[in-house]
Amino acid sequence: MKNVDLLVLGHTAFDYIMQVKEFSKINTSAIVEEMERLNGGAAGNVAVVANKLGLDVGLISCIGKDFIGSAYEEELKSAGVDISDMIMSETKNTPTAFVLTNPEDQQMFYFYWGAAEEYQTSEVPKAAIDNARAVHLATGDPQYNIKAGKYAYSQNKLVSFDPGQDLHLYSTKDLQEVIDNCNILFGNEHEIEHICDLLDSTIDELLENGPNMVVQTLGEKGSLIYVKGEDCLEIEPVPTKAYDPTGAGDSYRAAFLSLYLRDNSLETCGRFASTVSSYIVETQGTQTNIPTPDQALEKMNDHWIDVEL
């Protein structure tokens, strides 16, 4: 892998978003009225947004035989995301999520792990980490993330960690280990609370022993940035007409890191991240409607009219 600003580790996945008339019952068929196959996976999402916002980005995920030649692969390549170190399964398909929604907005979810089993037998990508300034650990295989995070941290890389919906896959010991070896912990309201419960710590205690920053995203309520020894920084949300919240968190993390790695103030990083995620929620999909850096900066400045970069 070439030199990159940000190396993202974790899932690259296909997302099937389906509107059904009704759910299938056993041994009967049901009609899917609308279906979209979207590019997804938390690591893929972070990589694509960070790349669009101007970082040099590398992405390492377990992908399957259906990935080769896919539109997703083409889009990553043509955007310039370095995918030369992807872990390829010869027999399985790429991790895939199926989300079915009925007219009453009830949902069913199916997750196919597939190629992601390859993480278990994959070595820490030391060369790729050595060539990166920062490493972001997204949802993926806990043991792989822990090993990779420890190595990156030992090499004085900036390590950020976002367990996301995979939090339940980490044992308390796992969680302590990965958090002890990261600089920034990202999570939503429930995830950060759950981590504090599991580790029997307050956020201040987390900051004493592990990361030097905890960033808690609160959806439409904005976000909070905790730094050791400082007052919590509250970041307002940027109001918008939300259509699909999926991917908002990933885009926040990508946007935050894209400015943080270019030495902006935490307030600016948070506001920019809040602004970028306001774009993502306006349309379906986690990698659609990504603003250019200029668009996001302009919208951010309009909202925080007194903010200067």
Active site residues: 250
Identify the residue among 74, 204, 236, 282 touching a copy of itself (CB under 8 A).
74
Identify the residue among 3, 84, 103, 111 touching a copy of itself (CB under 8 A).
111
Identify the residue among 3, 108, 120, 127 touching a copy of itself (CB under 8 A).
108
Q: Token pair for residue 111?
A: 């997750």
Considering beta carbons, is residue 114 or 211 the nearer one to a copy of itself?
A: 114
Residue 88 binds a copy of itself (CB under 8 A): no
Considering beta carbons, is residue 92 or 147 the nearer one to a copy of itself?
A: 92
Q: At closest approach, how far in Å is the CB of 56 from a copy of itself?
A: 27
Choose the stretch contacting a copy of itself; rule: CB under 8 A; options: 3-11, 90-98, 133-141, 176-184. 90-98
Residue 202 binds a copy of itself (CB under 8 A): no
Considering beta carbons, is residue 66 or 130 the nearer one to a copy of itself?
A: 66
CA dihedral defined by 274, 96, 194, 192, rounded to 10 degrees? -20
Q: Which residues of 114-153 are buried (b: 16+ CB within 10 A; e: fewer)?
A: bbbebbeeeebbeebbebbebbbbbbbbbebbbbbbbbbb
What are φ and ψ of residue 19, in 5° steps? -100, 125
What does the per-residue mask of binding to a copy of itself show for 23-52, with x meaning CB under 8 A?
Answer: xxxxxxxxxx--xxx---------------
**Contacts (Cβ under 8 Å, ≥6 apart) of 100:** 18, 19, 20, 23, 32, 107, 108, 109, 110
* First vs last C-alpha separation in the chain: 32
Considering beta carbons, is residue 26 or 305 the nearer one to a copy of itself?
A: 26
Choose the stretch contacting a copy of itself; rule: CB under 8 A; options: 103-111, 181-189, 194-202, 276-284. 103-111
Query: What is the DSSP code string of 178-193?
Result: HHHT-SEEEEEHHHHH
Considering beta carbons, is residue 107 or 202 the nearer one to a copy of itself?
A: 107
Q: At closest approach, how far in Å is the CB of 129 from a copy of itself?
A: 30
Choose the stretch contacting a copy of itself; rule: CB under 8 A; options: 3-11, 22-30, 130-138, 290-298. 22-30
Whole-angstrom distance, CA of residue 99 vs CA of residue 273: 26
Measured from the Cβ of residue 104, the count of other Cβ atoms closer than 10 Å reads 7
Angle made by CA atoms 10, 16, 18, in degrees to the nearest 5: 150
Whole-angstrom distance, CA of residue 236 vs CA of residue 271: 7
Angle made by CA atoms 85, 7, 226, in degrees to the nearest 5: 155
Residue 229 binds a copy of itself (CB under 8 A): no
Identify the residue among 3, 84, 107, 295 touching a copy of itself (CB under 8 A).
107
Q: Which residue, 200, 291, 277, is CA-closest to 242? A: 277
Residue 66 binds a copy of itself (CB under 8 A): yes
List contacts with a copy of itself (CB under 8 A). Answer: 18, 20, 23-32, 35-37, 66, 69, 71, 74, 93, 96, 98, 100, 106-114
